[in-house]
């Protein structure tokens, strides 16, 4: 297995630029933040299962919580001490998958 180079922390300007593509997300306490509501628990957990596979593939993992039909996600790159392109890649995948699961 090859070791992928870890991405570097984005500058404020780079964060603002990338955030323009993710209107439903906000930057809170330096993390990309989004709350989703699904039709029911099955859809919420299905979404989380799909995101978990993405997280595994990217080797990039969300901070998140679930209560019934709600999923709250915070994304940051712990190794870099801030936001990197990986957070924006995972956020964009979350948007696509959330739509698939009826959010
Ligand atoms: N996920 C997140 N969100 N941030 C990281 O810095 C991170 C990760 N690092 N998943 C990865 C795993 C690292 O620990 C492994 C060794 O690649």
Tell me the per-residue pLDDT of 75-97, one tens digit each, with 9 for 90 and over: 999 999 999 999 999 999 999 99
H or E segment and range at residue 15: helix 12-19
Domains of the chain (ranges, CATH numbers): 12-101 (3.30.1360.20)
Residues 6+ apart with CB under 8 A from 36: 44, 47, 70, 71, 72, 73, 94, 98, 103
Question: How many C-beta atoms lie closer than 10 Å to residue 45's C-beta?
Answer: 16
Tell me the per-residue pLDDT of 16-66, one tens digit each, with 9 for 90 and over: 999 999 999 999 999 999 999 999 999 999 999 999 999 999 999 999 999
Confirm or reject: Cβ of 61 under 6 Å from ligand 1: yes
With contact defined as beta carbons under 8 Å apart, do 27 and 11 qualify? no
- Ligand 1 centre to CA of 27 (Å) is 19
ipTM of the complex: 0.97
Give the pLDDT confidence score for residue 3 in this predicted structure. 62
Give the pLDDT confidence score for residue 69 in this predicted structure. 98
> Is the pTM of the predicted complex or chain greater than 0.80?
yes
Chain-centroid distance, C-alpha 87: 6
- Ligand 1 centre to CA of 56 (Å) is 10
């Amino acid at each position: 297995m090859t070791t992928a180079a870890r991405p570097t922390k984005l500058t404020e300007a780079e964060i603002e630029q990338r955030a323009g593509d993710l209107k439903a997300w906000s930057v809170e306490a330096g993390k990309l933040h989004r709350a989703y509501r699904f039709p029911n628990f099955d859809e919420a957990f299905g979404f989380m299962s799909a995101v978990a596979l993405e997280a595994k593939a990217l080797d990039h993992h969300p901070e998140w919580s679930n209560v019934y039909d709600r999923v709250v996600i915070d994304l940051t790159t712990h190794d870099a001490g801030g936001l990197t392109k990986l957070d924006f890649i995972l956020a964009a995948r979350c948007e696509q998958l959330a739509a698939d699961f009826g959010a």
